């Protein structure tokens, strides 16, 4: 993206000769190869390949409204995937994000309903709860030095139980009450769960937020000091600390950002479906993490982007819905999903290897 | 260490401040409509209390956490336990092996009776035999209508899922449907598959199945939307749980489809959707009744030696149809979360 200044000399290089570059440094490689070496380009090509595949095998995918539907599915995953990816670049990951979405939605719904408050109060309290969960995750990881796998697995199980037990205790049921007739609902629905018309196609507002958040995260990663800190703490915590990066602050704030993402999608779910079932959200955390990994974020931290995970989430939405658009035998659904994702990751990896060889 | 604890106090302060600010503004932000205040405080079904000696009964199901359906079963069981002076021990695990362990746990506690669901009968065969040799009566509910006798259960309360599906299929024929889709929210669940198979048996039109991820509602919505655009001739969507029916209604409007929605199982939001006509009808297997009868039957057996169905026939709790013509009678119970 930011490398156009070196494009001119590179264009002269023939595309695929067997060159005698003994010293294969970046300055000598073509723009195309350098682009291919970027993590988000590999996944972009993978997504394009899968998209073309579905364009051919599933005629409805060619419609604008189908694309809007695929993008909607991708955006509800993608909005959480972005902070999850940043956290992963920062060297940690979060297994509690999926149920965290539901925790947030349940909190907002129950606070508003049980206290008969304007729903915005519930929305605000839910944000505080989500930030607190993120803070606790981060604080425990920093304080104990235990792997975030263990800490957030504990949080995942805790939230799963709390979601159920508290909902049952407060509402007497395992789902929340309908809040769609309460003050502020329509307004909140406009913000979190409306759709707008683009050329006759109804596009969900979450798609818009998803792209804005991705752009914002990209800017933060590449252009701010905080972005440097994220790469630094994910690359090598100790040397980052040695050069004055506030490691604890960076990690804890990243966990809190995941909380914000979970809150946002939680609010979307609440204002789009009016009630929330307390058992939802289990297993979705793995989709966030996979989308980030497919998008080029290393499980070990220190490398990745915010754009790659956008394509990662898009790939999930595309495959999940594409199989339905193609009208394939649904017994094979999960198997299709797995094989296509594996295929996409392999293409992605192959592209990057080819590009970074020499 | 020093750094993080300093951060700790810095991080907590704004959170506390925000919470305090939120608390202060609460007073001025009450909702003028809806909410808890509009809800009437009604007590559940109550029929006094038996004076028979206290007994202990275990109810062990294959419920997965946070499912509205199972919550209703449990409420029925609790109501019967309260009436019969029974201490009810409820436990559940969707994994069959774990469910068997929970039954073993109940046997070890020397309970006076056990009620179980047989979603995976083979896995429970062993513990049922152990309960029998420990002279603990075992009854079945909900799942396992074709297996309870083979396993030697005393009686069974539930719905034959295939029969329920068949009933729904006939109803679809009456409505003139030609191309229906059966939406399964949990891949590999036998009961759900049997429902769709039952529909297929009697429905004279075309029936397709569609799998959705029941743990992710936006995904459920997108997938049903996708199916409706893939096959525009679909004129009926059949869901197997109330929350999914309500989501299917949104998918219809997203896909611009004119299809109708019918479902298995009820909850309180679903009854209002039937009142408004956005959902046509629901097949109700009366989960409250299943929980209630299973527990009550163990009390009857202990105190009077009765057993329903005489050990030969199951006691069917469904299929009962709820549609616009009778929804009013059901809605007030559904509002309490018991129908």
Q: Give A149-186 pLDDT, tens digit per residue.
A: 999 999 999 999 999 999 989 988 888 989 999 999 99
Cβ within 8 Å of A, B 160-199: 184, 187
Q: Does A163 touch chain B (CB under 8 A)?
A: yes
What pLDDT shows up at residue B7?
44
Flag whether pLDDT at B292 surpasses 90: yes
Question: Looking at residue B38, what is its pLDDT?
Answer: 65
Residue A48 has pLDDT above 50, yes or no: yes
Tell whether B36 lies on the interface with A, counting CB pairs under 8 A. yes
A69 neighbors A229 (Cβ within 8 angstroms): no
Concatenating the DSSP letter of every residue in B230-248 gives: H-TT--EEEESSHHHHHHH
Do A58 and B219 lie within an 8 Å CB cutoff? no
Query: Which alpha helices (H) appear in B27-160, and where do they start and end?
Result: 68-83, 96-108, 121-133
Q: At B24, is the pLDDT very low, low, confident or very high (cuts 50, 70, 90)? A: low
* Mean per-residue pLDDT, A340-348: 78
Q: Distance, in angstroms, between B332 CA and closest chain A CA?
A: 15
Residue B244: closest C-alpha in chain A = A273
| Residue A31 scores a pLDDT above 80 | no
ipTM for the assembly: 0.79
Q: Which residue of B has its CA nearest to A175?
A: B68
Looking at the predicted structure, is the pLDDT value of residue B17 above 70? no
Both tokens assigned to A228: 């440097």
Shortest alpha-carbon distance between residue A27 and chain B (Å): 41
What pLDDT shows up at residue B113? 96
Q: Give residue B121's pLDDT.
A: 86
Section A87-115 average pLDDT: 95
Alpha helices (runs of H) in B210-281, residue ranges in sequence order: 217-230, 242-255, 268-276
* Inter-residue long-range contacts of B134-140, CB under 8 Å, 24+ positions, other chains counted: B134/B107, B134/B110, B136/B106, B136/B107, B136/B110, B136/B111, B136/B112, B137/B112, B137/B113, B137/B298, B137/B301, B137/B302, B138/B113, B138/B114, B139/B113, B139/B114, B139/B115, B139/B294, B139/B297, B139/B298, B140/B115, B140/B116, B140/B294
Using the predicted structure, report yes or no on whether residue A29 has a pLDDT greater than 80.
no
Token output for A146:
């235990």
pTM for this entry: 0.81
pLDDT band for position A6 (cuts 50, 70, 90): very low
Task: Determine contact: B64 vs chain A, CB below 8 A.
Answer: yes
Contact criterion met (CB < 8 Å) for B26 and A121: yes
| A142 vs B337, higher pLDDT | A142
Model pLDDT, residue A22: 52
Q: Average pLDDT of B34-56? A: 72
Q: Mind telling me how many Å the CA of B179 is from chain A's nearest CA?
A: 14
Model confidence pLDDT, tens digit, residues B72-131: 999 999 999 999 999 999 999 888 889 999 999 999 999 999 999 998 888 899 999 999
Task: State residue B145's pLDDT score.
Answer: 87
In this prediction, residue A13 carries a pLDDT of 44
Query: Across all residues in chain A, what is the average pLDDT?
Result: 87
Per-window interface: A 98-127 vs B, CB < 8 A: 112-121, 124-125
- CB–CB contacts below 8 A, A to B: 192
More confident residue, B274 or B189: B274
Per-residue pLDDT reduced to its tens digit, A250-283:
999 999 999 999 999 999 999 999 999 888 999 8
Residue A174 tokens, joined: 């395992």
Judge contact between A163 and A105, C-beta under 8 A: no
What's the average model confidence in pLDDT over B253-278? 92
């Amino acid at each position: 993206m930011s490398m156009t200044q070196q494009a001119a000399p590179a264009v002269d290089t023939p595309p695929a000769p067997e060159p005698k570059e003994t010293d294969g440094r970046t300055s000598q490689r073509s723009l195309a190869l350098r682009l291919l070496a970027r993590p988000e380009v590999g996944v972009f090509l993978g997504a394009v390949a899968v998209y073309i595949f579905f364009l051919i095998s599933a005629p409805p995918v060619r419609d604008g409204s189908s694309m809007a539907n695929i993008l909607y599915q991708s955006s509800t995953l993608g909005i959480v995937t972005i902070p999850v990816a940043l956290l992963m670049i920062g060297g940690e990951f979060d297994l509690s994000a999926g149920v965290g979405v539901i925790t947030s939605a349940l909190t907002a719904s129950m606070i508003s309903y049980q206290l008969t408050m304007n729903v915005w109060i519930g929305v605000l309290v839910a944000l505080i709860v989500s930030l607190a969960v993120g803070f606790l995750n981060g604080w425990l990881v920093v304080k104990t030095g235990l792997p975030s796998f263990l800490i957030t697995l504990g949080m995942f199980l805790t939230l799963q139980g709390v979601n159920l037990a508290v909902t049952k205790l407060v509402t007497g049921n395992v789902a929340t009450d309908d809040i769609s007739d309460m003050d502020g609902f329509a307004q909140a629905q406009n913000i979190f769960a409306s759709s707008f018309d683009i050329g006759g196609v109804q596009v969900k507002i979450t798609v818009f937020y998803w792209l804005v958040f991705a752009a914002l995260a990209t800017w933060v990663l590449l252009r701010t000091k905080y972005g440097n800190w994220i790469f630094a703490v994910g690359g090598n915590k100790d040397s980052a600390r040695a050069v004055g990066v506030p490691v604890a602050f960076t990690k804890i704030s990243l966990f809190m950002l995941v909380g914000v993402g979970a809150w946002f999608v939680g609010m979307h779910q609440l204002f789009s479906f009016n009630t929330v079932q307390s058992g939802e959200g289990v297993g979705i955390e793995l989709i966030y993490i996979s989308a980030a990994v497919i998008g080029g974020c290393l499980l070990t931290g220190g490398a990745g982007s915010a754009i790659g995970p956008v394509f990662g989430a898009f790939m999930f939405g595309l495959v999940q819905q594409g199989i339905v658009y193609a009208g394939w035998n649904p017994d094979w659904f999960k198997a299709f999903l797995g094989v296509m994702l594996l295929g996409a990751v392999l293409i992605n990896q192959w592209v990057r290897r080819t590009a970074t060889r020499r | 260490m020093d750094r993080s604890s300093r951060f700790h106090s810095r991080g907590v302060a704004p959170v506390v401040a925000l919470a305090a600010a939120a608390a202060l503004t609460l007073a001025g932000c009450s909702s003028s409509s809806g909410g808890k205040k509009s809800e009437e405080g009604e007590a559940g079904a109550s029929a006094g209390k038996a004076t028979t000696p206290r007994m202990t009964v275990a109810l062990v199901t294959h419920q997965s956490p946070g499912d509205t359906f199972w919550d209703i079963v449990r409420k029925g069981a609790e109501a019967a336990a309260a009436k019969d002076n029974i201490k009810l021990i409820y436990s559940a695990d969707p994994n069959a092996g774990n469910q068997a362990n929970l039954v073993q746990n109940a046997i070890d506690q020397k309970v006076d009776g056990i009620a179980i669901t047989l979603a995976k009968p083979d896995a429970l065969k062993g513990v049922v035999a152990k309960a029998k040799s420990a002279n603990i009566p075992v009854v079945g509910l909900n799942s396992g209508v074709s297996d309870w006798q083979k396993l030697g259960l005393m009686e069974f309360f539930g719905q034959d899922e295939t029969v329920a599906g068949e009933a729904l299929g006939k109803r679809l024929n009456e409505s003139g449907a030609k191309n229906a889709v059966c939406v399964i929210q949990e891949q590999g669940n036998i009961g759900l598959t049997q429902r769709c198979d039952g529909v297929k048996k009697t429905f004279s039109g075309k029936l397709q199945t569609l799998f959705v991820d029941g743990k992710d509602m936006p995904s459920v919505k997108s997938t049903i939307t996708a199916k409706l655009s893939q096959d525009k001739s679909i004129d009926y969507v059949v869901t197997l749980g109330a929350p999914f029916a309500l989501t299917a209604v949104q998918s219809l409007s997203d896909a611009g489809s004119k299809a109708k929605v019918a479902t298995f199982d009820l909850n309180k939001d679903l009854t209002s959707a039937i009142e408004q006509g956005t959902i046509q009808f629901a097949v109700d297997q009366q989960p409250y009744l299943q929980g209630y009868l299973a527990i009550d039957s163990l009390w009857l057996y202990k105190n009077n030696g009765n057993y329903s169905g005489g050990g030969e026939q199951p006691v069917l709790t469904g299929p009962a149809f709820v549609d616009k013509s009778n929804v009013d009678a059901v809605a007030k119970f559904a509002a309490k979360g018991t129908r």
